[in-house]
Amino acid sequence: MGKFDSYKIPLKTLSIGDHTFDYTLDTEYFKNIDSQEVQKGNVQAKVLVRNNGNSYELTFALEGMIKVPCDRCLDDMDLPIAHSGKLIVKFGTDYAEEGDDIIIIPEVEGEINIAWFLYEFVALSIPIKHIHAPGKCNRMMSGKLKKHLAKDPDDEDDDMEMDIEDAEPVVDFEESDSQPTDPRWDELKKIIDNN
């Protein structure tokens, strides 16, 4: 028995009408799917399959919690997700995709494995930027990031924690005249100052 056999829906044997399938996408599921971004989670997935006689309409509803790495400190963070989507499945001679939500599967197989579709719906619900709430990032990593962060003084969006004790101050090279500088940099600075 394969890792994802329990995610197969035997479409050919379903009677006309609605059929509901429930799945739990847990840490084992995410490890088996070999996800780079999501390693752990607990997502409840409900799939309503409507047999229309000549096609099958699959309606997905997912809700739960996944763990993803924070973009700022790289520690795991809990991310609530909720997603819904539809997929139309038809029988044909070969497997094919017609558009974003129409799948043709071989009639001789008569079933569809939805394990990867479920993962795609989870992945679609992950925001592009995912960071901890203010004050929840790893303090040591945030301190190192802040130390090396170039900050625009006009930037009002300050998500970084301001009370990091172990962060070293950033050296302001423009005000530090006591250190000798490379003459090439002095010439470049003259060019910038003249513009």
Same domain, 108 and 45: yes
Mean pLDDT value of segment 56-66: 96
The pLDDT, as a whole number, for residue 167 is: 42
**What is the side-by-side strand order in the sheet with 56-69?**
17-25, 40-51, 56-69, 76-92, 102-106, 96-97
Structural element, H or E, at residue 84: strand 76-92
- Please tell me the distance from the alpha carbon of residue 181 to that of residue 50, in angstroms, as a whole number: 73
Give the pLDDT mean for 28-48. 90
Which of 124, 147, 174 delimits the end of a domain? Answer: 124
Of 163 and 190, more confident:
190
> Quick one: 52 and 148 in the same domain?
no
In terms of domains, do 174 and 144 share one? yes
What pLDDT sits at residue 143?
74
Structural domain harbouring 78: 5-124
What percentage of the chain carries pLDDT values higher than 90?
Answer: 44
In a domain, 132, yes or no: no
Instruction: Give the pLDDT band (50/70/90) at residue 160.
Output: very low
pLDDT band for 63, please (50, 70, 90 cuts): very high
Based on the fold, state whether residues 116 and 190 are members of the same structural domain: no
pTM listed for this prediction: 0.70
pLDDT tens column, 98-151: 888 999 999 898 999 999 999 999 999 988 888 888 888 878 877 777 777 766
Same domain, 116 and 156: no
Are 101 and 124 a contacting pair, CB within 8 Å? no
At residue 96, does pLDDT exceed 60? yes
Total domains in the fold of the chain? 2
What average pLDDT does the structure give for the chain?
A: 82
Side-chain half-sphere exposure of 12, counting CA atoms within 13 A: 11
User: Residues 168, 115: one domain?
Assistant: no
Kindly state whether residues 16 and 112 are assigned to the same domain. yes
Question: What are the φ/ψ torsions at residue 96 (nearest 5 degrees)?
Answer: -160, 155
User: CB count, 10 Å around CB of 153?
Assistant: 4
Residue 3: CB atoms within 10 A of its CB come to 12
pLDDT of residue 152: 57
Of 85, 100, 124, at which residue does a domain stop? 124
104, burial (CB in 10 Å: exposed 0-12, middle 13-18, buried 19+): middle
- Helix locations, 54-148, DSSP H: 115-124, 139-148
User: Which residue, 124, 150, 177, sits at the end of a domain?
Assistant: 124
Considering the domain boundaries, does residue 131 fall inside one?
A: no
Question: Using CB atoms within 10 A of its CB, is residue 137 exposed (0-12), middle (13-18) or buried (19+)?
Answer: buried
